[in-house]
C-alpha cells in the first residue's frame, strides 16, 4: 500500500528584525537580503531545512536525522520544503555596526563600519512542506524547537514564531485540464 503524503503550510512571523542574506553586498550595503524575482525578501528552503536539521540533531539520534532529511550517497529526504515568501512590500531597514576594540572600550576598530539590510519585525512569510503523514509529529516537534532564523540568531536578531498547518488540497484527477487550460483550449482557433 502506498504511503499517504500530506502538504502543510509553514508560516513564519518575525518577532524581531531579521537578516536572510545573499552573502554579497552592493549599493553601499555590505550585506544584502535574499530576494525573490519580485524584489521581496525570501527565506530560502535550504536555510529552513538547515535550522530544522540542527534542531533534529539536538533532539534525536543521527539515524532519525538522516532518515528524515536524507544524506549524501542517495538516501532521499522525506520532507520536501519550499522557500518561504512574503507578500509584504514593506521597507527594509539598514543597521550599521562596527567592531569594537575590546569589551570595556567602546571605540570602534578602524575600517569596520558595516551596513546590513534587515526585514522588519511583523513581516509574515509562508511556504509549504510535503511529507509522509507518519512524519508529521516529528516535524511539529522540530517547528516548536526553532525560535529564530537568519544571521545574528545568537544576538536576538531573527526571532520568530513558526506555525505548521495542514493545507487543504483540491483533488484533481491526473490528466484533467485546469480551468486555465480549458479557457485556453476553448478560445483557441480550431486550426491551431
pLDDT in tens, the chain (192 residues): 578 889 999 999 999 988 786 555 555 555 556 678 888 888 899 999 999 999 999 999 988 898 888 877 666 888 889 999 988 766 776 655 555 556 666 565 666 566 777 788 899 999 999 999 999 999 999 999 999 988 777 777 789 999 999 887 655 454 555 555 455 445 554 444
* Distance between CA atoms of residues 147 and 151, nearest Å: 13
The answer to whether 114 touches 96, Cβ cutoff 8 Å, is: yes
Q: Which fold has domain 5-186?
A: Alpha-Beta Plaits (3.30.70)
Among 135, 96, 181, 151, smallest CA distance to 4 is for: 135
* Distance between CA atoms of residues 171 and 148, nearest Å: 35
Question: Which pLDDT does position 190 carry in this prediction?
Answer: 47
Cell 529564530: give the residue. Answer: 148
Cell 506555525: give the residue. Answer: 163
pTM: 0.74
Question: Which pLDDT does position 154 carry in this prediction?
Answer: 74
Extract the C-alpha cell encoding 127: 511556504
* Distance between CA atoms of residues 62 and 83, nearest Å: 25
* Distance between CA atoms of residues 188 and 192, nearest Å: 7
Burial (0-12, 13-18, 19+ Cβ within 10 Å), 84: buried
The answer to whether 86 touches 123, Cβ cutoff 8 Å, is: yes
* Distance between CA atoms of residues 76 and 71, nearest Å: 7
Amino acid at each position: 500500500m502506498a504511503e499517504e503524503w500530506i502538504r502543510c503550510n509553514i508560516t513564519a512571523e518575525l518577532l524581531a528584525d531579521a537578516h536572510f542574506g545573499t552573502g554579497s553586498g552592493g549599493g553601499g550595503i555590505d550585506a544584502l537580503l535574499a530576494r525573490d524575482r519580485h524584489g521581496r525578501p525570501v527565506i530560502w528552503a535550504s536555510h529552513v531545512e538547515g535550522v530544522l536539521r540542527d534542531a533534529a540533531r539536538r533532539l534525536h539520534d543521527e539515524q532519525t536525522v538522516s532518515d528524515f532529511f536524507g544524506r549524501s550517497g542517495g538516501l532521499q529526504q522525506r520532507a520536501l520544503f519550499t522557500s518561504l515568501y512574503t507578500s509584504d512590500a514593506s521597507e527594509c531597514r539598514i543597521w550599521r555596526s562596527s567592531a569594537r576594540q575590546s569589551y570595556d572600550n567602546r571605540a570602534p576598530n578602524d575600517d569596520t563600519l558595516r551596513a546590513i539590510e534587515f526585514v522588519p519585525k511583523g513581516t509574515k512569510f509562508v511556504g509549504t512542506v510535503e511529507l509522509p503523514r507518519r512524519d508529521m509529529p516529528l516535524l511539529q516537534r522540530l517547528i516548536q524547537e526553532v525560535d529564530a532564523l537568519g544571521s545574528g540568531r545568537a544576538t536576538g536578531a531573527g526571532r520568530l514564531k513558526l506555525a505548521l498547518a495542514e493545507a487543504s488540497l483540491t483533488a484533481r484527477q491526473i490528466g484533467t485540464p485546469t480551468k486555465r487550460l480549458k479557457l485556453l483550449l476553448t478560445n483557441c482557433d480550431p486550426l491551431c
